[in-house]
A = this chain, B = another copy of it.
Amino acid sequence: MSKKISSSRRKFLAGSATVAGLAAATSVVPISVVNANHLEPGSKGLPDFIKWKKRSALIIHSGKTMESHRGAVGSSVITPIRHIYIRNNMPSMTDAQIGDRSKWQVKIEGVKNPKTFTLAQLKRMGQTTIATVLQCSGNGRGFFPHKPRGSQWRTGAAACVMWTGCPITTVVEACGGIASGTKYITATGVDHVATGLDPKKATVERSLPKKAHKDAILAWEMNGVALPNAHGGPLRFIPPGYFGINNVKHLGKLAFTAEESSVKYMKSSYRISPIGKKGSQYPSCWEMPVKSYITSPLKSAKSGDVVISGVAFGGTKKVGKIKVSTDGGKTWKKAKFVGPNLGKYAWRQFVYKTNLKSGTYNIASKASAGGESQPKLRIENRRGYGHNGWFDHSLNIKIV
């Protein structure tokens, strides 16, 4: 969570052009004009830009927001790409807007020798792969009783993804190191340029504490395929352990900065404020807290042996213990992590085998990481961010 906002926000970009400059040559049209891919919740189809997704794995909230069904993440650690949720603040860039993917450019600023690299150049600099949990800040918003504005996600605005790209540390090295006096790493999407939107309203630009760059990558591949446009292709910033919004899509600039960005998506949106209050003085959606939830069974199971399974993750910290309750949290039993450990930023599958007689049970899971345990309740906040309370994520199942 970010500290109280510095008063000198205006000089935030260390050695960089302003965000507005990126779109200076383009015309500005209202967001509503290009937001044409609206779909009614409950729609039977999928919008064209994600026609390749599996409709039955997704719950449609709008034309730019689709949640994975709770069981659709599977039990094989990595979420199948056709099942992964979509949450785009802006319309996804089209192939025509992107053009030749190998020529896609990203500016690196706030370094000793600022440079611009094409995707082709990045691919020649270095390559690694990381598995991370990608989770929308508002995942779990649907559980908040005050009905915050925004998609009513329950569990499915989260996935475990393999990303391949160039380490930021390699990029920084090629630019002579980080400039002095910088405190943040600020990533800028450039989709607003191609779509001609007002950069003040439409620029997705996010600042994170500088340390977030250490394990971060510039990704061009996701689960073994070229990064789809719908997920921010051809190039996306992946700072592992930080909420989805910080994984900036259609990346056009990465800058080490002295101040946080002043665009709407940093300054006012994604702030965790008390209900009825807002402002940049409240913490930003940065590191994800420890979380877990059961993915099977979801409704019922046969009496006798029952295998309860789910996923658990620790944000930027390695997930430690996982416990399961079948009595609404009165008692907890240790569950077992199973399957490959893909590193601290991935989620782990857990399994708890028990024996249940006929009846109704409240089943819940509770994970801990870095000394912190999931709380029972959500932390009430205006926009319904960061929900990791175990109680709302519990399930009432029928054993028959």
Q: Which of B224, B302, B351 contacts A76 (CB 8 A)?
A: B224
Question: What sequence of 0s and 1s flags, for each residue 343-375 of chain A, a beta carbon within 8 Å of any chain B beta carbon?
Answer: 100100101010000000000000000000000
Please, how many residues of chain A have a CB less than 8 angstroms from a CB on the other chain? 45
Once bound together, how far apart are the Cα atoms of A221 and B83, in whole Å?
A: 15
Q: In the complex the two chains form, is A225's CB within 8 Å of B74's CB?
A: yes
Q: Which residues of B contact A223 (CB under 8 A)?
A: 74, 76, 78, 80
Decide if the interface of chain A is mainly helix, strand, loop or mixed. Answer: mixed
- Knowing A77-B162, A162-B78, A342-B342 are in contact, say whether A126-B224 is a contact too (CB < 8 A): no
Q: In the complex the two chains form, is B78's CB within 8 Å of A78's CB?
A: yes
Q: In the complex the two chains form, is B307's CB within 8 Å of A123's CB?
A: yes
Q: In the complex the two chains form, is A83's CB within 8 Å of B224's CB?
A: yes
Q: Which residues of B contact A145 (CB under 8 A)?
A: none
Q: Which of B75, B120, B301, B307 contacts A125 (CB 8 A)?
A: B307
Q: In the complex the two chains form, is A76's CB within 8 Å of B346's CB?
A: no
Residue of B with least CB distance to A161? B76
Question: What sequence of 0s and 1s flags, for each residue 98-133 of chain A, a beta carbon within 8 Å of any chain B beta carbon?
Answer: 000000000000000000000010011111111100
Residue of B with least CB distance to A224? B74
The answer, yes or no, to whether A164 is at the interface (CB within 8 Å) is yes
The answer, yes or no, to whether A5 is at the interface (CB within 8 Å) is no
Chain B proximity of A22: nearest CB distance (Å): 28
Once bound together, how far apart are the Cα atoms of A159 and B78, in whole Å?
A: 16
Q: Which of B73, B76, B304, B340 contacts A124 (CB 8 A)?
A: B304
Chain B proximity of A219: nearest CB distance (Å): 10
Q: In the complex the two chains form, is B338's CB within 8 Å of A75's CB?
A: no
- Knowing A162-B78, A164-B76, A302-B124 are in contact, say whether A129-B340 is a contact too (CB < 8 A): yes
Once bound together, how far apart are the Cα atoms of A74 and B222, in whole Å?
A: 9
The answer, yes or no, to whether A163 is at the interface (CB within 8 Å) is yes
Question: What sequence of 0s and 1s flags, for each residue 215-256 of chain A, a beta carbon within 8 Å of any chain B beta carbon?
Answer: 000000111110000000000000000000000000000000
Q: Which residues of B contact A222 (CB under 8 A)?
A: 76
Q: In the complex the two chains form, is B340's CB within 8 Å of A74's CB?
A: no
Most chain B CB within 10 A, of A78, A224, A304, A339, is at A224
Once bound together, how far apart are the Cα atoms of A211 and B128, in whole Å?
A: 35
Q: Which of B78, B120, B301, B351 contacts A224 (CB 8 A)?
A: B78
A–B Cβ pairs within 8 angstroms, 12 of them: A74-B221, A75-B224, A77-B162, A78-B78, A80-B223, A83-B224, A124-B301, A124-B302, A125-B307, A127-B307, A340-B343, A342-B342
The 10 closest A-B pairs by CB, nearest first: A74-B224, A129-B339, A76-B162, A80-B224, A340-B342, A76-B224, A75-B164, A128-B338, A124-B305, A76-B164
Given A74-B221, A79-B224, A126-B353, 14 more pairs with CB closer than 8 A: A74-B223, A75-B129, A75-B221, A76-B129, A76-B222, A77-B162, A77-B224, A80-B81, A80-B223, A126-B307, A126-B351, A129-B340, A130-B340, A131-B340
A interface with B by C-beta (< 8 Å) = 73-81, 83, 120, 123-131, 162-164, 221-225, 301-302, 304-307, 309, 338-343, 346, 349, 351, 353
